[in-house]
Amino acid sequence: MMENNLRSILLRASTEVWALGHFNISNLEQLRAIVNVGVSLQAPLHIGTSEGERHFIGLKQAVHMVRAFREETGIPIFLNADHSKSVEEARAAVDAGYDSVHVDLSAMSFEENVRGTQELVKYAKSKNPDISIEGELGYFRGKSEVQKEIIEIKPEDLTNIDQAKEFVERTQVDRLAPVVGNIHGIAANEPKLDIDLIKKLHKELPNTILVLHGGSGIPDDQMKEAAKSGISNIHVNTEIRLAYTNALREVIKNKPDETTPYKLFPDVISAVEDKVKEKLLIFGSLNKI
């Protein structure tokens, strides 16, 4: 039975101990590849657009692309405004019709983060009671690209459990993005997730969906363990970008005279499909529709 509500799918993922895959897109080709895999594996999908990505695509355009694929395929596909760095950016995504919004005010003080997230939750729920809102707490290092330097995570970067409980209670967010040893992008060193911290957060916040950002570059065994320990939503962006751009460069090199864009993209779409399939199998989210 298909569920049309993101929260119900995420709660089922939490109960059944698997993770919903969240994949960022910059264009139609990436979206088509991700949806193709969702259909073939019968896996629900969470599609993300960062501020830069949704400014490039267009807010309404992203909403209608995802809606078209949802109607055409009949599988649960939800659109998330990833890492909205201000309440204004988050509100714009709510107004455009996004299914979920991640308001990331983690660079602010704790109180500013709480107040801004509270404001967004109240506004979003008044517009759409079914919308899912995510907040973030902790210091998230790195960026969504390949980084040549070693990124060291300090103990004070990690999400504090008592603060997390207060944050969720005061803001009433549906989802929480904690810092548990993860980073954005791919660094010269492998991340090491604090699985014990994930378990403690899950125990203290049993009704809140825990989201793992920075899924690119995290070893497979750690991601599997995270999903078993309370993470129900895993984000992947950089590895999708790498699969796409590496394949596109190769196609252009091999077909220097080709000028028809759609003839360049089959191998690119296939490369993204392979990466998405790899991740969904790790997350355990196949045959969940």
Return the CATH number at 231. 3.20.20.70
Residue 138 pLDDT: 78
Q: Is residue 288 included in any domain, yes or no?
A: no
**Which residues lie across from 175 on neighbouring strands?**
134, 209
Give pLDDT tens digits for 32-71: 999 999 999 999 999 999 999 999 999 999 999 999 999 9
Residue 248 pLDDT: 98
Q: Is residue 114 included in any domain, yes or no?
A: yes
Residue 192 pLDDT: 82
Residue 148 pLDDT: 55
Residue 187 pLDDT: 42
Q: Is 50 exceeded by the pLDDT of residue 259?
A: yes
Q: Is residue 263 included in any domain, yes or no?
A: yes
Most confident of 118-127, 130-139, 189-198: 118-127
**What would the mean pLDDT of 200-211 be, rounded to a whole number?**
97
Q: Is residue 1 included in any domain, yes or no?
A: no
CA distance 104 to 86: 7
Residue found under tokens 């699985």: 195
Q: Can you state the angle between helices 238-254 and 28-41, rounded to 10 degrees?
A: 110
Q: Is residue 194 included in any domain, yes or no?
A: yes
Give pLDDT tens digits for 2-20: 456 899 999 999 999 999 9
Q: Is 80 exceeded by the pLDDT of residue 277?
A: yes
pTM: 0.92
Give pLDDT tens digits for 207-256: 999 999 987 778 899 999 999 999 999 999 999 999 999 999 999 999 99
Q: Is 70 exceeded by the pLDDT of residue 153?
A: no
Residue 154 pLDDT: 61
Residue 185 pLDDT: 46
Q: Is residue 289 included in any domain, yes or no?
A: no
Q: Residues of 211-223 as b/e, b for ≥16 C-beta within 10 angstroms? A: bbbbbbbbeeebb
Active site residue 174: no
Q: Is residue 165 included in any domain, yes or no?
A: yes
Q: Which domain holds residue 178?
A: 6-283
**Which residues lie across from 77 on neighbouring strands?**
45
* Active-site position among 82, 104, 174, 194: 82
Q: Residue 15: which residues within 8 A CB-CB, separation 6 or more?
A: none
Residue 158 pLDDT: 85
CA distance 21 to 231: 11
Q: Is 80 exceeded by the pLDDT of residue 22?
A: yes
Give pLDDT tens digits for 155-187: 567 889 999 999 999 999 999 999 898 654 444
Cβ-contact 81, 93 below 8 angstroms: yes
Q: Is residue 88 included in any domain, yes or no?
A: yes
Average model confidence (pLDDT) across the chain: 91
**What would the mean pLDDT of 263-282 be, rounded to a whole number?**
97
Q: Is 80 exceeded by the pLDDT of residue 190?
A: no
Count structural domains, the chain: 1
Give pLDDT tens digits for 91-116: 999 999 999 999 999 989 999 999 99
